[in-house]
Each structure stands twice: as C-alpha cells, then as structure tokens.
Structure 1
Amino acid sequence: MFNQKKIVGYFPFLLIALSSFVMILPQWLGRDVIFGSDSIFHYNRFYDAAMQIKSLNLNYFISIYGFQQSGRIVNALYGPFFAYFQGILVLLSKNWFGYQLLSRFVLGLFAGNSMYALLREVKVRGTIALALAIFYLTTFSIQYWSIRQGFSSWGAALMPYCLIPMIRLIFQDKIEVIRLAVSVALMLQVHVLSALFLVMMYVPFYLYGLMKSSAKLKILGQTTLSVVLAVLLTLNIWTALIFLRQDNLLLDPFVNPLMGKHTINQASSYWLTRPQFLFVLFIAQLGYFLFYWKKVAKWEWVLAITYFLFFFLSTSYFPWQDLVDRGVKFAELIQFPFRFFIPTTVLLIVLAGRALTSFQQRQWLLSFLLSLAVIGAMVETSQYATQQAEKAHRNEYVLKKSKHVYLFDDYQQTRASLFDVDKRKLLRVIQKATPDYVPVYGDLTGKNTYKLYAQQIIFPNSQFKKSVTNHQLSVEWTAQAGEKVSIPIFVYTGSQLTLNGVKLMSSDYQLSEIGVPLVTSQQGMNKLVLTYQAPLIFTVSLVMTSLAWLGIFLTSRLHFKKLTSKA
C-alpha cells in the first residue's frame, strides 16, 4: 500500500524534477548546442576524470586524458572530488550533447531542492517556497552554467542548503557540528570562490546568533569542532595546495583589467534583469522594507543587511577598478564582481519568501500570481537559451573563434563531434589555450602565456602519439640521433620523466618558461613516460579525507533509516 504522507512529502522534489526537465526540453527536442566561453576548460577537466574512472588509470594530480594529455595539473586545485562526480555524469552520457542535458537537469535538481530546503527552514509557506525554489532555476545564477558553462552555478546550486546551519543557529541557539562542517567542506570540494562567499555570508549570521545566545561558550566549542571536521573533510585540498605552491611557481588565473565594467550596473546587468521577474522582486523587496520595516524581525534585518552588502559588492560603486589597478590580490582573485550577485540572488529570494508569507490574507491569490510569474520566467529563460543556440547555428559556430580558441575542423564536423560517442573528438577539434596553474620557470615579463601554451602544447601535439598505461602518460615520436625535441607536456616539481627506459634527472633536460621539456632523442622511435610522485603526506591526507566522508555518509544513512522507521 502507498503511504499517502510519504507521497505528499515527495511532491516538492517531483515538481522540481519536472520543472528541471521542462527547462532542458527545448534543447533536447531541438538538438540545440549551447557552448560558452568556459566550456572547453571544464569539459577537459571532466573528460580527464571520466576516462580515469573508466580505465581505472587514476592519477589525482596530472591530466593524462584531458588538456592535450599534457600532464597539466588542474583538478587537484579545482574542486577535485566534484570533478570526479562530473566525470561520472560524462560516463553516463552517450555524448557531449547528452552531458549538457544531464548536467543541466542535475544542476536544476540540486538548486531547486537546496532553495526549497532553505525557504522551509526560514518558515516560508509551502506553496510559496516551492514556487520560489522553481523560480531559482531560471535565474542567471543557475543558468550561467547552461549559457556559458560558468562553474559558479554549481556553487550557487548548493549555497542555499549550506546556509541552513546559520539559520538553525539563530532559531535553535546551537551549532550542528556535522551539518556546518559538511556545508563548508562540500562547497570547498565544489568551488573555492563559492566557499569564500559562503563564509562571508556566515559572518553576520554567526555574530548575531552568538550575541543573542545565552550559551556562548557552548557555541564556540561547537564551532571549533566544526572547523576541525571541515578541515579533515578538505584535507586533500589543503595539502595539495600547500605542497604544490611550496614546490612550484604556478601561473595564476588571469587578472581582469576591466573589473569595473563586469558589474551588474554596467555590462553585466543581465544578472539582475534575466529573468525580468527577478528585477520585479528586487523592486518589490525595496518597497516592502520601506513600508513594513517595523514588522521586520531582528534576524531578518541581519539577512537584509547581508543581502545589501553583497548587492553593493556586485556593483561598480564598490571601487573594484581602483583595487585591481593597485594590484590588490583579493580583487584579482574575484576577477568578475558580478559573481557577488549569486549570494545576492539567494538572499533576495529568501527575503521575498518571508515577505510573501507575512501577508495573511488572500494567500491563494498570491500563490496563483507567483506561479504565473514563475511559469513566465521559465518560458523567458528557455527562449533565451534557444535564441543563443539559434544564433550560433545561424552564424555557423559552436564556440566562437577568438585569439585563444583554435578550431581544427569546419562547423558541420565540429557540431557533429558533440553527438559522437567518441568524446575525444570535440576536445581535438576545439582547443583553447587557458594556461591556469601551469608551472613557471624564468621571467614571463612581456610574454603572452596564452600564446606560449598554444605554441608549445596545442600546435605540436599532433606530431606525437600519446597513450596511458598503469597510471602513466606515454609520449612517442620519431627523430634523428641527438636531435633536440620539445615534448608537449608540462613538468612540475614532482613530475618524473623516463626516456627510452632511462629515468631522467633534472640536468638531463631543459625546461621552457612554462615547464615544457626539451630532451635529446635517440635514432628512430623514442618513448617518454611521465608520472607524478605525490609526497607521502598527501597520500595520508587523501585517505583521511576519504574515510571522513565515508563516515559522514554512513552516519547520515543510519540517521535517515531511524527517521523513516519512526515515520
């Protein structure tokens, strides 16, 4: 027999899943291709993780399948565990088109249920919470992945859920140690910048909760335990970051010299106006606080102040341009101030949910109008995605050619590669010179690292045969005896080279300014084997982190079984 209570409990999840499916349906039916500026970078990351899983040739640090099979370190510094999760999605997909659909659907599930959980936690009425959770899927914070493959959307999808510990601190006067630790650790394993935003959001809530609490020492103790557990759950990130940065000079992501323009009141206003109902909520929320500020609870003022702070940081009124001109590292790290609008969007929806719930009369009418607005937002967002795909098809491009994007086939063949079961084809016909985290040897002053990457890795790569065996990358080529050959791979401190069966010392080869080795060939066929030797401390930390996550998973499963058995 069906348990009616359980079916009703699953209804929000099912409706969010249906809405997420509806959002991808136009792309599925039209077989549209939506490719953004960050697509090739992330697709290389996930393809590398997918092939490592499929072949069981695991190499945590160097890229042995993606990024031109260059031995480049990326995933170890960029959401390592979550990269393998994305790799699983790639494996589940028949081709890259299927991956686009599946990843968009999964992102919608994460975002909708995460927002619904937060809204219910702050006691927003069920129908309003569900409508706003579905609306969250249509905001550019989530659609950033669909349109441009901006990875911030995955952080945005989980951010509402990760805010719940601070809400419970205010309402329940306690820190849930495991939940808080998992929230921070989960965000760090997904997207470091989103984790930074999350911690920034925590600060005002935590200070308010601590001030109003009568058990301050208890909360401080619980916080300490949470920090220790969070560090344990992310030990793989910290140890990798520390020893890689300590032993290598790595090229940081590019510094945006026009930060002031990439704000929501300048060139990136679409973050606020797409869909248009988001701008309506923004104006309505201002009006609500002007007319009903006396009815606003103290904790909601904390919410509102945090919201306005992040909104301010997403605009050019904050002196981003001046900071980046002065070389301030924090500003250089942010790159695009519009990213601050992701927390702004989350908090705006929470404030809107609280405001709508406060109106006791004609709730049915509010819910009906809100549902219409959400449906309109879904249609608007789907139409925009379709228009972008149609524009690309009309102008015959999958990804626009630029000074850093290199196309090695015509439009028809490039588009066909997205529907090919051999996912390597796409990564061969579209290549992008993005030199983030490559090693630096020597002075790069006046040199264009994007061009160096293309000249030393992308262009010569086809002249070599690369394969993977026993977790190692092999490179083969034919040359004359004594001929000096530049091999299109990267060498870090910790990389080990074996040429024709002989292990090389650092004195046996030369390195370019970005770590590409120049070796001396023998007559005929040559074979260079690249592997990476991680220090023992990292291996220990990876095991500890993995066991900690396994323990958390098993504990949560037992807790869930107890709850369901009681129900």
Structure 2
Amino acid sequence: MKEKTIKLLERGLPYYIIITMSCLIILPQIISHGVILGTDSIFHFNRFYEATQQIQHWNFSYFQSNYSFQQSGRIINATYCPLFAYFNAIILLLARSWYRYQIITNLLIYFIGGTGMYKLCIKLHSKQSIALIIAFIYMNIGWLPRWELAQNMNAWGAALSPYMVICGIRMIQNRKQPINALQLITLMTVIMQIHLLSSVFFAVALIPFFIAGLIYSNNPRLMWTELIKAVIGTIILTANVWGALLMINLNNHIAYPANFSLLANALRPAIFSNNRRFLAFPICFLFIAQLVFVIRKPRRSFLNTFITSWGSLILILSSVITPWRKLQQWLPFLSHTLQFPSRLTIIAYPLLFAGIAMTVTAIINSTPKYSLSHISSIGILPATLLLVFIPTNITISRETANYHSDALLANLSALSNASTNKEAIRYSTQSSHPEQLLSLVEKRSPDYLPLPSNYAGDKSKHSYDYQFQIIEDTKNFHHTVLKGGKLKLTWTANHSGTQRLPLITYHESILTVNGKKVTHYQRSSIGAPYIHERQGVNTATLKFKPASWFNYLLAIWIISSILYWIYGGYYLYKKK
C-alpha cells in the first residue's frame, strides 16, 4: 500500500508543480482580492450569467437571451459555443461571485495549458525537468494569460493547442494506428464547443501532419478510415453549433464581428513584453537558435525538423513580416474573421517549444556533463523562464492594482454606461449577486445582431444604435421572463401611437403585442420592432421558434452525445 502511494505521488508530482506555477501566476490577483475587467469581460460575463439564470430557474432558451444583454432577446450563446457558456455557468453557480469565478477559471486554464505542453514534451521523449520548464514558459506568454487579463476566448485555443500537436505527432510516430478516431473526435469537438476560430486553426495545422503520416504509415487505408470516422463523429457531436449558425444565417443577415487592422494586430518583437501582440527578445533568440539548429542538421531528427519548420512558418505568418496591409486589401473579410494575425501563435508556440524541448534533451544526452554546450543547454531555459515570468507577473500586478484605483474600467472598450461609483462596482464583483456588475457596467456589442435588408450595408454605427435603441430605452420598460423561454415587456403609454421596443427580433421570432400576434412590422437598423401601442398599459411577448429541422438535428446531437459518453467510458475502462 505504501509503495502504491509513493508511486501515485511520483506520477502526480509534475501536475502538483504545474498547479503551483498556476497559483504563482495568479498570486497578485489572490493577494489583492481584485477582479480584472478586460476588453471582453462584460460581454462574456453576460453570456455566462444568462446560462446561469436558465439553469437556476430551469427555464431554458437555447437561442433567446432573456436574462442578460439588457434582456433584449438577442441571440448570442447559440452562435457562440453554447456548451462552454453552460460550463462556465456551473462554475459561476458554485463560485457565486465574479472574483471567485475568475480565480477558479484562471487556475483551470493555466493548468490545462501547462499540462498539455508538459505532456507534449514527454511525448517527444524530453527529460521531465525540461518538459516542466517549457510548460512554465508556455503558461506565461502569448494568449494563455489573456484569459486572466481580458477574458479573450483565444486563450482557450492556446490551452488546448498542445493536445492538438500531440494528435499530430501520433500521426507520424505511430505507424500502426496513426489516428485514434476517439481521441481526435474529442479534441475537435471540445475546441469547436469553445472557440470556432481556434478549431479552424487546429484543422489546418493538422494537415501537414496527416500528409507526413500517410507517407510513413504502414496502413494508409486505415489512416483514411480513422480520419473519416473522426470527421463524421465531430460533425455529429458539434451539430448544435454549426446547426444554429446555419439556421440563423439562412433567414437573417447577421452583423459581422468588428473589423480590425491586421497589420496593427500582427506579432512584433519587444524587449520583455510577451502579451498577445509581442514576442520578447529572449523567446525570439530561442526560436531563431532552434531553427538554425534544425537547418544545420536536418537529418538528425525528422520530427524535430518537421515541427520546427512548420512552427516557424506559422510564426512568420502571424508576424509583421507578412504583408498584412496588402492581404487586407485583397482579402477584406480577414479583418472581421481573423482580426488578429497574432492569433496564429496558438499553433506556432507549441510547435516551436516542442522542438526546443527535443533539441535541449538531445544536446544534454550527447555532450559531456561539464561541456559548455551541456551547461548552456541546462541554464538557458530557467533563465528564459525568469525573463518571461517577471514581466507577466508585473502585468497582472498592474491590472489588479487598477481594481483599487480610479482606473478600474480603463481596459474596457465600447462602454455605453458605467456607474461613477467605483466602490459599488468593486462591491458587485465580490457580491453573491452577479447581476449587479452587469447593471452597473454595460457595453455596446453589435455581434450577431440581425440587420434588416435596408440597413445591411451600413455596419459602422450598429454599435451606437444598440446603445441608443436598447441600452438606453430598456429602462422605460418592465421585463418579465415567462416559462417556456418567453420574454414579456410591460409599459405605460400616455397616448396611442408607434413605439419602438427594446427587443431584437429575427425571422424566427414570434412577437405578440397586447394579446395579438404581430406578423408584419417595421424593424430598426438592428432589428428592434416598431409596433402600435395603445393608451395605458401595454404588453409585448417575444419567443424564438427555431426551424423544425433544427429541433430534429438537436435531438440527433443529444442522442449521439449520450452514446459518445457511454462508449468513451467503456473505452477508458477497457484501456485501464
């Protein structure tokens, strides 16, 4: 029994160390007891609060937002990875405040990302100590810290990207079974349920691995078979995501996300900064040295040469070296789809760090213990870790310091309404009533609004239209959430006439005014309905009715998900 306990402790030791590093990264936030409100915080907090209320009241509305986003009925979660919203809602229900929610999710994302990077290095036969240091460096750079600093969803792509590389490595290393369909299905389903753009990056990044795997495979036919299984399985298990997007876009003209300058958001070198748009000189040096190493001796390790070359190419694409200004002129859709070329680093960094782990391990194993190469290889990674941990810690410390100052909302963009009472905002982040923060700080977010055909070409002012038509008008109406996912508005009119309701209506929305279903009505530039009101008390009810084919698709998805969990459990039991 004692020996088993010791073995369990030894096997778990790397993960305890990764948890410790996660705690060290978020230590400034733990000490200050502060909440970091970043660029995307309020938007995603609304999403998660919506799912929380649906669970609490057991009153689900898959499409319509009834509790959040000014109770406007707009669609967000259904088109923005709904399962992840419900996952965060469960965490928020357990945490009960935004502060505790942030601490839990920050620890979770750092642990997932660090563990993935560690497992990737071990998969490549790296020494355990080297694998841990590489994992720590990865946890402190790029997009991974952006979840703590701004609730950027690309951070979850960065956390899961090492697992994607593990699947790619398997395609080359394992010649008998290059693809485990269940493993690939799980990875792609999880990332599609979290962040769609990251799933596109993952799929593209795996293509060279698949081609190389076909060349090396003993059974290419099996490889194709497993790939087809994985693709079909992923399509079925993500039907709730792509099905909702398809249905909404078939009959509605949906507003694109905001446009950004690609060049301004491409990766560029910096002295010590390692945030999403910058790469510190120590990391630049490591990457250049790694590339030089494999170019000089490309035949020493095909796998090292392969992943380093592929990672370097993606890193160049993510940087200012690529002519992004010209590309934006030729392919303007990239400004609202890709938005930030630096997002590609979620693929480049795991590949390059995996190559570095292989190189350092190879040098240590092949050189005398006290040689310059041996000592340099051992010392360079801890030094690099120190040079990336300190700036990250300083950045987090600075952002948490804002919590106790007048700069509390300094990093929030597109604010339409924010209380001047900073103490009330601070109190709301610690309160067990999460809705308080969302009523004190409101953001104009035009994402996924339905644009009537006569307004479809004018996208520049939809953000302000949402502020004037929804955020400012909604205070004049009383909102009630009814059973069955319905939203009821009540207001009093001094005289009869035309009234614009602070609601967002889609082709599939059913609007009832004063007990009568309204089928023909004019809509504003963002889909708010104009209706006829009578003198005195008026009521309006909004309900979203999805297409019947989507309901069938959802049923297939639910059944398939249950079967997946049953088979997955059986597979793991059999493997153990």
Q: Normalised by the size of structure 2, how large is the TM-score?
A: 0.91
Indicate how the Cα distance of structure 1 residues 317 and 189 shifts in structure 2: closer, same or farther if over 3 A, else same: same
Aligned residue number for residue 382 of structure 1 = 393
Please say if 1:235 is aligned against 2:219. no
Would the aligned equivalents of 2:514 and 2:538 in 1 still touch at CA under 8 Å?
yes
* Separation in 2, partners of 1:272, 1:510: 44
SS of 2:472's equivalent?
Answer: helix
Aligned residue number for residue 289 of structure 2 = 284
Deviation at 1:339, TM superposition (A): 0.8
Please say if 1:475 is aligned against 2:489. yes
SS of 1:485's equivalent?
Answer: strand
Aligned residue number for residue 17 of structure 2 = 15
SS of 1:335's equivalent?
Answer: coil
Aligned residue number for residue 306 of structure 2 = 302
- Match for 2:544: what amino acid? Y
Would the aligned equivalents of 2:498 and 2:530 in 1 still touch at CA under 8 Å?
yes
Would the aligned equivalents of 2:32 and 2:400 in 1 still touch at CA under 8 Å?
no
Deviation at 1:536, TM superposition (A): 2.3
Aligned residue number for residue 96 of structure 2 = 94
Would the aligned equivalents of 1:401 and 1:407 in 2 still touch at CA under 8 Å?
no
SS of 1:497's equivalent?
Answer: strand
Moved more, 486-495 or 390-399: 390-399
Would the aligned equivalents of 2:416 and 2:467 in 1 still touch at CA under 8 Å?
no
SS of 1:492's equivalent?
Answer: coil
SS of 1:214's equivalent?
Answer: coil
* Separation in 2, partners of 1:233, 1:406: 39
- Match for 1:357: what amino acid? T
Deviation at 1:206, TM superposition (A): 0.7
Would the aligned equivalents of 2:498 and 2:533 in 1 still touch at CA under 8 Å?
yes
Aligned residue number for residue 495 of structure 1 = 509
User: Which of 73, 83, 86 is 1:84 aligned to?
Assistant: 86
* Separation in 1, partners of 2:202, 2:412: 35
Would the aligned equivalents of 2:133 and 2:382 in 1 still touch at CA under 8 Å?
yes
- Match for 1:77: what amino acid? T
C-alpha deviations, 1:113-134, integer Å up to 9, x for none? 2222222222222222122223
Deviation at 1:383, TM superposition (A): 2.1
Deviation at 1:290, TM superposition (A): 4.9
Aligned residue number for residue 202 of structure 2 = 198
Aligned residue number for residue 476 of structure 2 = 463
* Separation in 1, partners of 2:412, 2:399: 16
Equivalent positions of 1:5-404 (< 5 A) are: 5-173=7-175, 174-256=178-260, 258-265=261-268, 270-271=275-276, 277-295=282-300, 297-359=301-363, 360=365, 361=367, 362=369, 370-371=381-382, 373-374=384-385, 377-391=388-402, 393-400=404-411, 404=415
Would the aligned equivalents of 1:264 and 1:270 in 2 still touch at CA under 8 Å?
no
For this pair of structures, how many residues does the alignment match?
560
Deviation at 1:225, TM superposition (A): 1.4
Aligned residue number for residue 449 of structure 1 = 462
Deviation at 1:85, TM superposition (A): 0.8
SS of 1:398's equivalent?
Answer: coil
Deviation at 1:143, TM superposition (A): 0.5
Which ranges in structure 1 are unaligned for 5 or more consecutive residues? none
Moved more, 160-169 or 57-66: 160-169
For the aligned residue pairs, the C-alpha RMSD in angstroms reads: 2.4
* Separation in 2, partners of 1:330, 1:400: 25
Aligned residue number for residue 410 of structure 1 = 421
SS of 1:386's equivalent?
Answer: helix
Indicate how the Cα distance of structure 1 residues 462 and 400 shifts in structure 2: closer, same or farther if over 3 A, else same: farther
SS of 1:45's equivalent?
Answer: helix
- Match for 1:57: what amino acid? N
- Match for 1:226: what amino acid? A
SS of 1:474's equivalent?
Answer: strand
* Separation in 2, partners of 1:293, 1:395: 55
* Separation in 2, partners of 1:276, 1:97: 34
* Separation in 1, partners of 2:62, 2:349: 34
Indicate how the Cα distance of structure 1 residues 70 and 321 shifts in structure 2: closer, same or farther if over 3 A, else same: same
Would the aligned equivalents of 1:61 and 1:532 in 2 still touch at CA under 8 Å?
yes
SS of 1:528's equivalent?
Answer: strand
SS of 2:234's equivalent?
Answer: helix
Would the aligned equivalents of 2:37 and 2:150 in 1 still touch at CA under 8 Å?
yes
Indicate how the Cα distance of structure 1 residues 147 and 178 shifts in structure 2: closer, same or farther if over 3 A, else same: same
Would the aligned equivalents of 1:239 and 1:538 in 2 still touch at CA under 8 Å?
yes
Deviation at 1:243, TM superposition (A): 1.5
Please say if 1:527 is aligned against 2:539. yes
* Separation in 2, partners of 1:393, 1:293: 53
Deviation at 1:396, TM superposition (A): 3.4
- Match for 1:420: what amino acid? S
* Separation in 1, partners of 2:38, 2:157: 18
Moved more, 214-223 or 83-92: 214-223
* Separation in 1, partners of 2:245, 2:414: 30
- Match for 2:567: what amino acid? T
Please say if 1:544 is aligned against 2:546. no
- Match for 1:149: what amino acid? Q
Deviation at 1:354, TM superposition (A): 0.9
Identity of aligned residues (%): 28
Would the aligned equivalents of 1:497 and 1:530 in 2 still touch at CA under 8 Å?
yes
Would the aligned equivalents of 1:125 and 1:357 in 2 still touch at CA under 8 Å?
yes
Indicate how the Cα distance of structure 1 residues 501 and 240 shifts in structure 2: closer, same or farther if over 3 A, else same: same
SS of 2:130's equivalent?
Answer: helix
Runs of 4 or more, structure 1, over 6 Å off, are 266-269
SS of 2:193's equivalent?
Answer: helix
